[in-house]
């Protein structure tokens, strides 16, 4: 089969097919040849005719069933993939094709898993509803923070910052993506100290509090750390899903721990930032959701990250849209957030979001506890439809935040 033979506008995708949407730029070939190259190289084809090709192999060919300009929709028979093997799926549809000479650029925009393929994965254990049940928060956004500075604090000071954040009003405290078990902050010491701080904060505030400790490591170490979290009464773990890899994430989810999995997307911009090449965030969300994370960073629109509002809305939709019965993933907004940005965040996200601020809490001039309280005030004001400036007249903590971070 030649590349152009993989383009067939008469093909009607089967319910069991996996469907990918790509945008691409051809390189000295026609659009049809370039689109066919994507389908061929990600299924059964290659650059030349083969003496080893058998008639029965042809039924496994991918089909470009829609080609509109430089956007191609490709259907892949489910038989191309091993059941429950996400690395295998992605090695096919998001593997060698990115290096083809026939393509100047290639971007994977969407993956639509069939029900047959989804059966091989567990999906979220808790999702939005389960998270709200654990935290006993029914109808407001969750307020979280990241310990800052992200590296360098010892376990005792780390736990003190966590206590201040919780006692000021944060529901959630988490590690940053690059805190693991360095000599200055050993994993087990940090776990013990911070969970003790959580318990004290719950006693003081009467509110449920959770700690997301970063367990990212080699797979077996990651499982050992998850066991420790369970043994010490933790309810959450955080995983850097892209740097630890899909197979490690599958291994973790397969254990079916009674742990909410918080997915950090460290490294995603290497795939997502170039609008012409790589992998959009939406497919990353869909893959992570299929494997079984419960909450996931999706961008902010505002703040320090670069994604546009349409991109973030796409990511939120991928977290929540119907997906063969899988639970919805809780979107997380994080990156340069402070109280002044809360109304804009809720306009984009609605109430189902973790508003996760690091510097926007710990950078408050009156300290972490006051910064956390200012963030809660901002959420309360937005939910009541009161402007932040008006609410700040009777809430000095919020006033301090608004004076610190200007519009």
- From 3.40.920.10, 3.20.20.110, 3.30.70.2740, 3.40.50.2300, which CATH number describes the 127-404 domain? 3.20.20.110
What pLDDT is recorded for position 305? Answer: 76
Looking at residue 221, what is its pLDDT? 98
In angstroms, the Cα distances linking 72 to 36, 79, 171, 334 are 9, 21, 44, 32
Residue for token pair 């500075």: 149
pTM: 0.96
Task: Check whether 252 has a pLDDT greater than 90.
Answer: yes
What percent of the chain is predicted at pLDDT more than 90? 95
**Average pLDDT, stretch 54-76?**
96
Domain map of the chain by residue range? 3-118, 127-404
C-alpha atoms less than 13 angstroms from C-alpha of 39 in its C-beta half-sphere: 33
- What is the reported pLDDT for 294? 98
Quote the Cα angle for 172-351-289, to 5°: 70
296: β partners: 263, 331
Evaluate if residue 153 carries a pLDDT over 90: yes
Residues forming a β-bridge with 23: 71, 107
Query: In the predicted model, is pLDDT for residue 306 greater than 80?
Result: no
pLDDT for the residue numbered 407: 75
CA distance linking residue 192 with residue 248, whole number of Å = 25
- Residue 150 is predicted with a pLDDT of 93
Class of domain 3-118: alpha beta
3-state DSSP helix/strand/coil % of the chain, to nearest 5: 45, 15, 40
Confidence label for 243 from pLDDT (cuts 50, 70 and 90) = very high
Helix, coil or strand: residue 33: helix
- Determine how many CB atoms are found less than 10 A away from the CB of residue 148: 18
Average pLDDT of the segment spanning 324-345 = 96
Q: What SS3 class is residue 43?
A: coil
Query: Distance between CA atoms of 377 and 371, rounded to whole angstroms?
Result: 10
268 is catalytic: no
The yes-or-no verdict on residue 50 having pLDDT over 90 is: no
C-alpha 92/C-alpha 80 separation (Å) is 9
Q: Are strands 260-264 and 295-297 parallel, antiparallel or unpaired?
A: parallel
What is the spatial distance between Cα 365 and Cα 363, in angstroms, rounded to a whole number?
6
Q: For the chain, how long is the longest CA-to-CA vector?
A: 80
Calculate mean pLDDT across residues 84-99: 97
For residue 58 the two structure tokens come to 């042809």
* Residue tagged active-site, from 78, 148, 209, 327: 148
DSSP annotation of 12 reads -
Query: Does residue 149 have a cis bond before it (omega within 30 degrees)?
Result: yes
Q: Is 377 a catalytic residue?
A: no
d(CA 319, CA 23): 22
Q: What percent of the chain has pLDDT over 70?
A: 100
Rg (alpha carbons) of the chain, rounded to whole number:
23
Split at pLDDT 50, 70, 90, the class of 303 is confident
Catalytic residue among 78, 264, 268, 395: 264
The phi-psi region of residue 386 (left if phi > 0; otherwise alpha if psi is between -120 and 50; otherwise beta) is beta
DSSP letters spanning 251-262: HHHHT--S-EEE
- In whole angstroms, what is the distance from residue 174 CA to residue 144 CA? 8
Q: What confidence score (pLDDT) does residue 49 get? A: 83
- The strand pairing partners of 76, in sequence order, are 18
d(C-alpha 42, C-alpha 20), whole Å: 11
CA distance 42 to 67: 17
DSSP secondary-structure letter at 341? G
Contacting residues for 342 by C-beta, under 8 A, at least 6 apart: 355, 375, 378, 379, 381, 382, 388
Measure Cα distances from 258 to 253, 324, 361 in Å: 10, 23, 29
Cα 185 to Cα 58, 178, 193, 232, distances in angstroms: 56, 12, 11, 18
Phi, psi of 114 (to 5 degrees): -80, 160
């Amino acid at each position: 089969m030649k590349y152009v033979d993989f383009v067939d506008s008469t093909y009607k995708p089967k319910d069991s097919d996996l469907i990918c949407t790509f945008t691409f730029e051809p390189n000295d070939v026609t659009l049809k040849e370039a689109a066919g190259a994507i389908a061929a190289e990600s299924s059964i084809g290659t650059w030349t005719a083969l003496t080893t090709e058998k008639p029965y192999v042809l039924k496994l060919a991918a089909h470009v069933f829609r080609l509109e300009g430089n956007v191609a929709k490709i259907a892949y028979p489910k038989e191309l993939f091993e059941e429950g093997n996400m690395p295998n799926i992605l090695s096919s549809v998001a593997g060698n094709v990115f290096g083809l000479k026939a393509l100047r650029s290639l971007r994977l925009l969407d993956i639509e898993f069939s029900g047959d393929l989804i059966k091989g994965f567990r999906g979220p254990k808790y999702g939005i509803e389960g998270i709200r049940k654990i935290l006993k928060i029914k109808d407001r956004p969750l307020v979280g923070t990241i310990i800052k500075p992200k590296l360098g604090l010892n376990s005792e000071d780390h736990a003190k910052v966590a206590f201040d954040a919780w006692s000021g009003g944060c529901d959630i405290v988490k590690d940053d993506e690059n805190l693991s078990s360095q000599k200055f902050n050993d994993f087990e010491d940090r776990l013990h100290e911070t969970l003790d701080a959580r318990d004290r904060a719950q006693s003081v505030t009467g509110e449920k509090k959770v700690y997301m400790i970063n367990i990212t490591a080699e797979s077996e170490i990651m499982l050992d750390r998850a066991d420790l979290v369970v043994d010490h009464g933790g309810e959450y773990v955080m995983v850097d899903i892209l740097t630890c890899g899909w197979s490690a994430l599958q291994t973790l989810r397969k254990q079916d721990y009674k742990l909410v999995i918080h997915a950090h997307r460290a490294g995603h911009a290497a795939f997502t930032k170039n609008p012409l090449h790589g992998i959009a965030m939406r497919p990353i969300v869909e893959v992570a959701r299929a494997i079984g994370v419960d909450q996931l960073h999706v961008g902010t629109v505002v703040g320090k990250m670069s994604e546009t509002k349409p991109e973030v809305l796409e990511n939120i939709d991928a977290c929540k849209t119907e997906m063969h019965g899988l639970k919805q993933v809780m979107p997380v907004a994080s990156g340069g957030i402070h109280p002044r940005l809360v109304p804009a965040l809720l306009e984009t996200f609605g109430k189902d979001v973790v508003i996760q601020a690091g510097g926007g809490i710990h950078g408050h001039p009156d300290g972490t506890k006051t910064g956390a309280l200012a963030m809660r005030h901002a959420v309360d004001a937005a939910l009541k439809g009161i402007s932040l400036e008006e609410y700040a007249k009777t809430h000095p903590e919020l006033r301090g935040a608004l004076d610190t971070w200007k519009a």
